[in-house]
Amino acid sequence: GCGKKEEDAAAGGEETSGETYKACFITDGNLGNDFVDLIWKGFQNLEQEGWEIKCIEATDNSEFADDIRSMAGEGYQVIMTWEDNVSQAALNLADEIYKNYPKTHIFLLDTYVDHDKPNCTSVSVDPFESSFVAGFVASKMTQTKTIGWIGHTDVLKIRRFRDGYIAGAAYGDPDVEVVYSFTGDYLDPTKGQEAGSAMIANYPVDIIYQSCYLAGPGVIKACSEGGIKCIGVDDWQGDLDPCVFWSAIKPMDVAVTQVALDYKDGKELPKQMDFNIAAGGAVYDERDLKNIPEELQKEVKQLVDDISTGKVDVYKNFEEYRLEY
Amino acid sequence: MAETDYVLELKNIRKTFGALVANDDINLRVRRGSVHAIIGENGAGKSTLMNMITDIYEPDGGEILLNGEKVRFKDPMDATRHGIGMVYQEFMVFGDLPVLDNIMMGFEEKRWGIFLNRKKARMRIEEICRDYHFQLPLDARADTLPVAVLQQVEIVKVLYRGADILILDEPTSVLTPQGIQGLFEAIRFLKAIGKTILIITHKLREVFEVADEITVLKNGKVTGHVLPDEVTEEQLANLMVGREVILQAHKIKSEIKSPVLELQDLSVKENGVQRLKNLNLKVRSGEIVGIAGIAGSGQQQLAGAVVGLTRVEKESRIRIGEIEVQDKSVRERKKMGVGYIPQDRMGEGVNKAGSVWESAVMGYQTVHGYRRKYLLDRKQAEDFTNRIIREYSVKTKGIHEKVINLSGGNIQKLVVGREISLCDKLLVIEDPTRGIDVGAIEFIWEKILRIAAAGTAILLISHELNEVMQLSDRIFVMYNGTLEYAGTHGELKEEEIGLLMTRGGDADEKKA
Amino acid sequence: MQMRKKLEINEEAKSNLIRYAAALLAVLLIGAVLIAVQGENPGKAFSEIIKGAFGSKINIGNTLRHTMPCILTAIAAAVAFKSGVNNLGLEGQIYFGALTAAVLGYAFKLPPGVHVIVCLLASGVAGMLYALLPAMLKLVFQVDELISTLMFNFIAVLLTEYITMWWIMGGRGSDGSNAISTPPMAASARLPGLIQGSSASLGVVLAFLVAVLVYLFYRYTVKGYELKQVGENIRFARAYGIPVARTFLGIFLMSGFISGLCGGIEMSGSYGSFTAKFITNMGWDGILIAYIAKQNPIAIVVVSFLWGALRAGSLQMERMTSLNKLTVNIIQMLFVLFAAIDYKALLDHMRQKHIRSREAG
Amino acid sequence: MQEILLAVISPVVFAGAVRIAAPLVIGSVGGCFTEKSGTFVLAYECFMLISAFFATWGSYVTGSAVLGALIAVMVSILVGILFGILVFRFQANGMIVSIALIYGAWAVTTLLLVSIFQVRGSFISPDIISFQTISIPFLNQVPVLNDVLNNKIGPVYLAFLLTGAAYVVMYKTPFGLRLRGVGMNATAAQTAGTNIRRYKWTALIIMCACCGLGGAIIPLSGVSMFTENMTSGRGFLCLAAVLVGGGNPIKTSIVAFLFAYTDALYLTLTSFGLPTQLLSCIPYVAVIFVLIVSKLRARRKAALGAGRLKWRKKVTA
Ligand SMILES: Nc1ncnc2c1ncn2[C@@H]1O[C@H](COP(=O)(O)OP(=O)(O)OP(=O)(O)O)[C@@H](O)[C@H]1O
Ligand SMILES: Nc1ncnc2c1ncn2[C@@H]1O[C@H](COP(=O)(O)OP(=O)(O)OP(=O)(O)O)[C@@H](O)[C@H]1O
Ligand SMILES: [Mg+2]
Ligand SMILES: [Mg+2]
């Protein structure tokens, strides 16, 4: 478990309604990094609402199927899976679950899957848009016309961040050059630090956007040491270091709470949901606005509006990332 | 006053290993400045006794008196500090280190209290070498040196540590006649300077040559304490093994027929060093061909080439019967009836970690047709093992006993028994009686002669000149990779062959 | 003679039993303390573990599902260690076996029975080929396989990810999913399930068969005898005509085959498609089990079952209590540590000390 | 292409390598002692991970990186004593104990993170004080060296010092001579009056202290945080360095540095769009490459060695 006592949840939940709603989170990445914590924050919101919650940190792919089956068997109506491998396992099991536990609904968090399972919903907060806005901000803020991006490994999901950032920067200022690199390890902050230092030494970057999980704080540290600015990811990271002037947030907590409550309210759940700007998702944190010039603040707001109305198409040159729903 | 005459006294020493009583109530007094020989059969308890003096083992009972005072050493180091130094049966060398480091290990000269002072150590060692007439290459790595030199290293090491009492455990088993003479000279010289020497050996003649007093052990008990002038070789042997033994092979006249092994232009190069040069040799059925020579002259390569372990040069031809085998594998040659008794019995002859039957049937599983296709016939394998144990009187608790629990001599018998039982055509034997006692030697000699008489061709490689001379029909001397014919049985004298082996006595400087 | 033989075997079994019992006892004690410290009731935790492992048919199925890779990797390790080959590269061989099975599983259409067999055989061969690399490095350059296999593990994880992402997926997701994985295997390439509602497949039976075969092989065949000799004294084996280099190669390949097969069964039996970094430490589990079981195939099956039970049980424990299954990991490791102790030597040592102190006193 | 070649010799890469190398070098120099004393230890990763955790904790509690590192070294030695008791005293197999310790360490640190800091996965706090960088005045004048060597944290320089010190101890002192003797031929060393057990223990403790220090550097080199499994395979690289370097501290350090260099190179090369999975293989391929080259050289040298091929003995203890 996650060190959370079930009793608390039970105590809070009992009197509000006849049926106790139970939500369970099966994650491949452990709690303790901003993104997973963000999701868990969404669960904690549910706990406030009287739900019973449970987090299972599965460490090995062989455990996913067992966990999903058993939690459905334990009467959890909402099962949320994170990391594509867990979600994949959930999809494979969906029919069996539907047969045995028709009330249970599975939410595949942070995936972009096309599927036909009635009891599954893929819930995403596409980082492409927030990265796009971050790239736009960076292109406006850079003095050296060179901005950087560092990710952990060269995998598809991480490239969404990179390419959204590149697209945003190109939209903001076509002359700005974007350089990127990878740390090669998502758990090791010292690698992040080295990658940041190397980038600062190799290129005249003055802003680096990091998307590298637990190695991220290392990048932030390197930026702070190198005297340049940094853009955080997932959650608001301005609390980590003053050099983080902007965060490309991915409000998964809101999405989590939202979909769970939708389920409770008996709403029709679509096969895919994306909490993009158009759906009212946030892409930056209000606290960061003070860090950029007023003029730029306006531009950013305008941009977000434009994206929301479809005036600006963030996927223009990056068709492969476009979500078809 | 008598007390101070004896530099070392052992009283009622007792040592058991589990149920086995290795030393039972041993009393021994060693006179100052004498050469004291301890003889006994394999497993009589000699090494055990010595190991208790130097505190490798702790005695179960009894006491040790040094200069009349009761001592109890904490560890081997403590014994060394009290002036007792031992040259072990198996040398205690560090192969990767130069001789200098080997000698000073544990007793380093220091500079500023913490750093090694190799210069000073070298000076001291050179001084010792000068005083005692040793010549050592101090900078050579130990594993590049021949055994004779290593033995000198061991003795110098003990002297360097300031030993007054030197214990030599079977020092002559690795030496040539000349080397042995050199060693004895050194022993006499040490004695003259006032050191006391305890020497362990199986070889009776040497005992007479060098010892002042003799103690005989048998089955862990002292069976005699004699002076060399008072006994004959036969009497001594009798004390050791409890029956009459005459170390004389009874050569059976066998009928020598067609050649079984034929070597033609045999050359071997290892890592660019020419080990064998164009050897030509025929061994015929029923014949024992003996190869004498100092260690490292190429004997190992010769044996290896014949059984298939050593790769030979292109032009070399090895024929067994009519068939050329230089490109055939060990296994194929084995199937043709080639047996091999390696010199390093412990390392190569058996699997010490396995049980007795596993070592006993090695070769049996392929050479003879005792496998049902691919399956091992456990029953037959066990019967075969029991047969060897019976016929060769291998002392063991049973066929499932671990080989490591057998004594050296018994392992020897096991290997010899196996190879003799399995191979009917050609037997390559290296030092069949190294480190075993007279009784066992006699037994093994007889077996070898018997199978030769039965028609097996035998290539006997031995560092024991006497053995070669006693057993062989024809004798060759190996020197630096070449073979020289040295006559038929009984033609040449020991000294003459010894001279051939060393080309005039410069052997000690020759490297392996 | 017969009597003595029996006696000796009993002695060995006895010492093994002592080892396991002592380890289990110590671990239960320490584990209870560990659980209590984390504020849970040890009794409840243990009962959840047992329930999770054997509580129902499905739970037993889960236990069997986790037992399978343990058996195969441990057998692969044992085969290698018995003959003195330090193959620590099981993990890498599993990866390549798995990838091969997965690719063949989706890329080809074959009749049902044939397809599975082809996939599994190919996975074994792939593991074998991947084991060939360190084996050849050893034979040609005398590179110690201990270290080379360790390195090849890291390389395999990265390389399979590379192949999956760049060759199979063409550098981008095909169906919108972002996992780095191959397309799902055809149904004809999947092993039939064993227990409905669990991930146990016929694979566990296969694994068991492999263990039995290996046991029989070592006990009753000439080759088995020879391989043991090579492991225990290579010079001895060489001197009497056992082709050592070939044997070494054979052992390495056999070990690689079994590891690769393990990967293939995982794909065919449980996963259904290859995903980058799909296992963690499976190879190491095998090595640990092989050591605890002293490389005896029968003991391996027993210990693997225990391991699988602990695995399934720990999942249940995590679900039902506030404990993390890392607690069970620690308990497992403690068991290994305690089982690794040579109790006989320890007893002898203590007895000697006792005697000595009595003498002194 | 040219860019890549330039990156290979760029001072940025070397500066990064010097920093990354510090824990590897220190850990593997310690490992030289156990290697030479003939103790088979794989558990570098365990010692480093545990000490990385306790360095974080120590620094957090005491507010001093040095004290944090000291605490880490202590804890690492304690774990080493556990290893020693099991292997030396109870005759357990070194390999199996090592593997168990490695995986135990991961579980233990992750659980400790929960029970001490009440966080999961990672702990980050400004109260974790890192080592200070040291500026060497006379290097300021030298152009390239200044970039590569100057303004690094203390342990980086310590790594160089330790390598030299270890070399002197190993080859120039009686202690080193006896230690190597113990590893080469334990019985012989015993008859030379060496207390084998004491030397093995000493070597083990030196190794643990070094690995402890190496592990402590990782969280205290500036990032000021601990994440689970933070050492991420560094221990295995240390082990590889020791085995490749044959326990000679200088050779071993060079190999360790080589690994660090390939790592640093990776961080630069990923900017060129090369597949990261392949780039990540570089250190491991480098190990194998170095092994092959060193064996080839050894073979040429051994023109005079023992005849028959030598095989590494089965790993025991
Ligand atoms: N470590 C041991 N453990 C058990 N028994 C032993 C051990 N060492 C020696 N023995 C037993 O003690 C007896 C005496 O052995 P020891 O080595 O003293 O004989 P030895 O007279 O030196 O023989 P050799 O002439 O062959 O060297 C042996 O028969 C053996 O059974
Ligand atoms: N490691 C061991 N464990 C148990 N017993 C041993 C061990 N080593 C030796 N022995 C016992 O010691 C006895 C003799 O050992 P050792 O090799 O010293 O004999 P030896 O007296 O030198 O005999 P030989 O002259 O035949 O070589 C064996 O019979 C065996 O029972
Ligand atoms: Mg002896
Ligand atoms: Mg002996």
Look at residue B75 and tell me if it is in a domain.
Answer: yes
Reported ipTM? 0.81
Domain check: are B434 and B318 in the same one? yes
| A163-A167-A171 Cα angle (round to 5) | 170
Alpha helices, H only, C233-342: 234-239, 244-265, 282-292, 297-320, 326-340
User: Residues C244-289: pLDDT tens digits?
Assistant: 888 889 999 999 999 999 999 999 988 888 888 888 778 888 998 9
Nearest CB to C275: which of A56, A61, A63?
A61
D295 shares contact with chain C (CB less than 8 Å): yes
User: Residues D48-105: pLDDT tens digits?
Assistant: 999 999 999 999 999 899 999 999 999 999 999 999 999 988 888 888 899 899 988 9
pLDDT level of residue B367 (50, 70, 90 thresholds): low
Counting the structural domains of chain D, the total is 1
Q: Which helix or strand (DSSP H or E) is residue B296 part of?
A: none
* Residue from B153, B166, B271 to probe the interface with D (highest D Cβ count within 10 Å): B271
Domain segments of chain C as ranges: 67-315
In the listed set B241, B273, B290, which residue is the last one of a domain according to the structure?
Answer: B241
pLDDT of residue B352: 84
Counting the structural domains of chain B, the total is 2
Greatest Cα-to-Cα distance within chain D, rounded to the nearest angstrom:
62
Ligand 1 proximal residues by C-beta, below 6 Å: B 17, 20, 22, 40, 42-48, 89, 407-409
Across the interface, whether the CB atoms of C288 and D99 are under 8 A apart is answered yes
Collapse the DSSP code of D135 into the 3-class scheme (helix H, G, I; strand E, B; otherwise coil) and give the result: coil
pLDDT of residue C359: 55
Separation CA A175–CA C55 (nearest Å): 65
Look at residue B343 and tell me if it is in a domain.
Answer: no
Nearest residue by C-alpha to atom 27 in ligand 2: B408
User: Residues C194-247: pLDDT tens digits?
Assistant: 877 777 888 899 999 999 999 998 888 888 888 888 888 888 888 888 888 888
Mean pLDDT, range B275-288, rounded to an integer: 88
Residues of D in contact with C326 (CB under 8 A): 107, 110-111
Closest ligand 1 atom to residue B45 Cα is 18
Q: Which helix or strand (DSSP H or E) is residue D314 part of?
A: none
pLDDT level of residue A196 (50, 70, 90 thresholds): very high
Q: What percent of chain A has pLDDT over 90?
A: 13
Residues of the domain holding B454? 259-337+423-511
pLDDT of residue B397: 82
Which tokens in the block code for residue A194? 């080295």
Q: Which residue has the tokens 């092979």?
A: B249
Nearest CB to B398: which of C1, C224, C238?
C1
Domain check: are B212 and B282 in the same one? no
Residue D299 has pLDDT above 70, yes or no: no
- Minimum Cα–Cα distance from C161: chain D residue: D277
Separation CA A281–CA A323 (nearest Å): 15
Distance from CA of D297 to the nearest CA of B (A): 13
D277 shares contact with chain A (CB less than 8 Å): yes
Mean pLDDT, range C277-303, rounded to an integer: 87
Domain check: are B270 and B219 in the same one? no
| CATH code of the domain in which D172 resides | 1.10.3470
Candidate from A11-20, B146-155, B213-222, B394-403 with smallest mean pLDDT: A11-20
Nearest residue by C-alpha to atom 1 in ligand 1: B17
Distance from residue B409's CA to the centre of ligand 3 (Å)? 10
Greatest Cα-to-Cα distance within chain A, rounded to the nearest angstrom:
62
Mean pLDDT, range C291-302, rounded to an integer: 88
User: Residues B11-40: pLDDT tens digits?
Assistant: 888 888 776 788 888 888 888 888 999 988
Separation CA C124–CA C264 (nearest Å): 7
**In one letter, which amino acid is A221?**
K
Nearest CB to A182: which of D119, D230, D276?
D276
pLDDT level of residue C97 (50, 70, 90 thresholds): very high
User: Residues A254-303: pLDDT tens digits?
Assistant: 888 888 888 888 888 888 887 877 777 778 888 888 888 888 888 888 88
Nearest residue by C-alpha to atom 12 in ligand 1: B22
pLDDT of residue A13: 39
Tell me the residues surrounding ligand 3 (ion) with CB < 5 Å.
B 47
Bridging pattern class, strands A272-274 and A120-124: parallel
pLDDT level of residue B491 (50, 70, 90 thresholds): confident
Residues of C in contact with A85 (CB under 8 A): 179, 181, 275, 278
Distance from residue A164's CA to the centre of ligand 4 (Å)? 79
Look at residue B216 and tell me if it is in a domain.
Answer: yes
Nearest residue by C-alpha to atom 18 in ligand 2: B407
User: Residues C73-82: pLDDT tens digits?
Assistant: 999 999 999 8
Dihedral of alpha carbons C339, C340, C343, C346, sign: negative
pLDDT level of residue C361 (50, 70, 90 thresholds): very low
**Averaged pLDDT score across all residues of chain B:** 81
Q: How many CB pairs under 8 A join B and D?
A: 84
Across the interface, whether the CB atoms of B365 and C238 are under 8 A apart is answered no
Look at residue B125 and tell me if it is in a domain.
Answer: yes
Residues of C in contact with A324 (CB under 8 A): 176
Separation CA A144–CA A208 (nearest Å): 12
Given a contact cutoff of 8 angstroms between Cβ atoms, the answer to whether B330 and C239 are in contact is yes
User: Residues B283-328: pLDDT tens digits?
Assistant: 998 889 999 876 667 888 899 999 888 888 888 889 888 888 888 8
Length of chain B: 512
Separation CA A82–CA A29 (nearest Å): 8
B386 shares contact with chain C (CB less than 8 Å): yes
D124 shares contact with chain A (CB less than 8 Å): yes
pLDDT of residue C360: 52
Testing ligand 2's pocket by substitution, the residue of B405, B412, B436, B441 carrying the most ligand atoms inside 8 A of its CB is B405
Distance from CA of C150 to the nearest CA of B (A): 27
pLDDT of residue A5: 41
Look at residue B408 and tell me if it is in a domain.
Answer: no
Q: What percent of chain D has pLDDT over 90?
A: 40
Given a contact cutoff of 8 angstroms between Cβ atoms, the answer to whether B396 and B356 are in contact is yes
Across the interface, whether the CB atoms of D307 and B56 are under 8 A apart is answered no
Domain check: are B88 and B19 in the same one? yes
pLDDT level of residue C156 (50, 70, 90 thresholds): very high
pLDDT level of residue C176 (50, 70, 90 thresholds): low
Q: Which helix or strand (DSSP H or E) is residue C324 part of?
A: none
Look at residue B401 and tell me if it is in a domain.
Answer: no
- Minimum Cα–Cα distance from A85: chain C residue: C179
Question: Helices C57-82 and C222-232: crossing angle, nearest 10°?
Answer: 70
Residue A220 has pLDDT above 50, yes or no: yes
How many Cα atoms sit within 13 Å of A23 on the Cβ side? 28
| CATH code of the domain in which B88 resides | 3.40.50.300
Look at residue D223 and tell me if it is in a domain.
Answer: yes
Nearest CB to B374: which of C222, C232, C235?
C222
Look at residue D135 and tell me if it is in a domain.
Answer: no
Residue C1 has pLDDT above 50, yes or no: no
User: Residues D50-61: pLDDT tens digits?
Assistant: 999 999 999 999
Tell me the residues surrounding ligand 4 (ion) with CB < 5 Å.
B 408
Residue A96 has pLDDT above 90, yes or no: no
CATH topology (fold) of C67-315: ABC transporter involved in vitamin B12 uptake, BtuC (1.10.3470)
**Averaged pLDDT score across all residues of chain A:** 83
pLDDT of residue B174: 66
Contacts with D228 (C-beta within 8 Å, 6 or more apart), sequence order: A30, A32, A187, D106, D109, D110, D113, D121, D122
Distance from residue B225's CA to the centre of ligand 1 (Å)? 21
Residue C126 has pLDDT above 50, yes or no: yes
Question: What is the DSSP secondary-structure string of B163-185?
Answer: -SEEEEESGGGG--HHHHHHHHH
Look at residue D133 and tell me if it is in a domain.
Answer: no
Domain check: are B441 and B293 in the same one? yes
Residues of C in contact with A96 (CB under 8 A): 197
In the listed set B212, B241, B270, which residue is the last one of a domain according to the structure?
Answer: B241
Length of chain C: 361
In the listed set B241, B276, B308, which residue is the last one of a domain according to the structure?
Answer: B241
Given a contact cutoff of 8 angstroms between Cβ atoms, the answer to whether B437 and B219 are in contact is no
Domain check: are B270 and B327 in the same one? yes
pLDDT of residue D310: 34
Testing ligand 1's pocket by substitution, the residue of B20, B21, B221 carrying the most ligand atoms inside 8 A of its CB is B20
Across the interface, whether the CB atoms of A198 and D13 are under 8 A apart is answered yes
Look at residue B248 and tell me if it is in a domain.
Answer: no
Distance from CA of C215 to the nearest CA of B (A): 13
pLDDT of residue D74: 95
Residues of the domain holding D283? 2-122+152-316
Domain check: are B473 and B502 in the same one? yes
Q: What percent of chain D has pLDDT over 70?
A: 94
Distance from residue B417's CA to the centre of ligand 2 (Å)? 19
Residue B125 has pLDDT above 50, yes or no: yes
- Minimum Cα–Cα distance from C289: chain D residue: D96
pTM: 0.83
Across the interface, whether the CB atoms of B374 and C226 are under 8 A apart is answered no
Distance from CA of C172 to the nearest CA of A (A): 6
pLDDT of residue C4: 46
Closest ligand 2 atom to residue B410 Cα is 26
**Averaged pLDDT score across all residues of chain D:** 85
pLDDT of residue C358: 60
Q: What percent of chain C has pLDDT over 70?
A: 92
Buried b (16+ CB within 10 A) or exposed e, B224-252: bebebeebebeebbbbbbeeebebebebe
CA distances in angstroms from B378 to A165, B361, C222, D51, listed in the order given: 73, 10, 10, 54
Residue C186 has pLDDT above 60, yes or no: yes
Residue D144 has pLDDT above 70, yes or no: yes
User: Residues A136-165: pLDDT tens digits?
Assistant: 999 988 889 999 999 988 877 788 889 889
Nearest CB to B272: which of D178, D181, D303?
D303
